[in-house]
């Protein structure tokens, strides 16, 4: 496995420190901490991209700020009535919001599987998080191009 960028490695370590039965609770807690997108995005939802791999309506927008040392600002919208999906959005926000763009692009595609949630959540849910991550990475690449 390739090395993870610092922010994501920290989240992975938090999950690894827990027994599998408690990891789902941490996932839900991270979802509870997910901030709402700012008003400028809530008023223009077309600026967010839907993650069709998710069973719940999830939307994402990554914005790159700064020219010399670009960082990523991450905005996600996931419904509270989908706590697992919202938790995955919370993981990405906690790990990647404010991270250097290079770190976001260096995050391996299999990063969601490193949370140790296999057997705790369905493979379909893990694919949803992978879809969120891929959109973030693509949006960052496009903005840096």
Strand order in the sheet with 59-65: 49-50, 59-65, 71-77
The DSSP output letter for 111 is G
Alpha-carbon gap, residue 4 to 42, rounded angstroms: 32
Cα–Cα distance between 110 and 68 in angstroms, integer? 29
Tens-binned pLDDT, residue by residue, of the chain (145 aa)? 458 889 999 999 999 999 988 999 999 999 999 999 999 999 999 999 999 999 899 999 999 999 889 999 999 999 999 999 999 999 999 999 999 999 999 998 888 889 999 888 888 888 999 999 999 999 999 999 9
Q: What is the pTM of this model?
A: 0.93
Domains with residue ranges and CATH for the chain? 6-144 (3.90.1010.10)
Q: What are the C-alpha distances in Å from 51 to residues 57, 72, 106, 130?
A: 7, 18, 21, 10
Q: How far apart are CA 135 and CA 141, in angstroms?
A: 10
Q: What is the pLDDT of residue 1?
A: 42
The pLDDT score that the predictor gives to residue 2 is 54
CB contact at 8 A, 72 and 101: yes
Non-local CB neighbours of 63 within 8 Å, separated by 6+ positions? 72, 73, 74, 75, 143
């Amino acid at each position: 496995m390739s090395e993870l960028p610092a922010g994501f490695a920290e989240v992975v370590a938090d999950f690894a420190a827990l027994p599998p039965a408690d990891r789902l609770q941490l996932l839900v807690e991270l979802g509870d901490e997910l901030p709402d997108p700012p008003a400028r995005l809530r008023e223009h939802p077309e600026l967010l991209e839907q993650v069709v791999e998710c069973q719940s309506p999830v939307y994402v927008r990554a914005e790159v700020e700064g020219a010399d040392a670009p960082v990523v600002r991450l905005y996600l919208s996931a419904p509270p009535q989908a706590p697992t999906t919202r938790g995955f959005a919370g993981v990405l926000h906690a790990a990647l919001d404010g991270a250097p763009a290079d770190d976001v692009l260096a995050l391996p595609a299999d990063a969601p599987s490193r949370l140790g949630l296999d057997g705790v959540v369905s493979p379909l849910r893990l694919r949803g998080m992978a879809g969120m991550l891929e959109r973030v990475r693509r949006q960052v690449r496009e903005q840096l191009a």
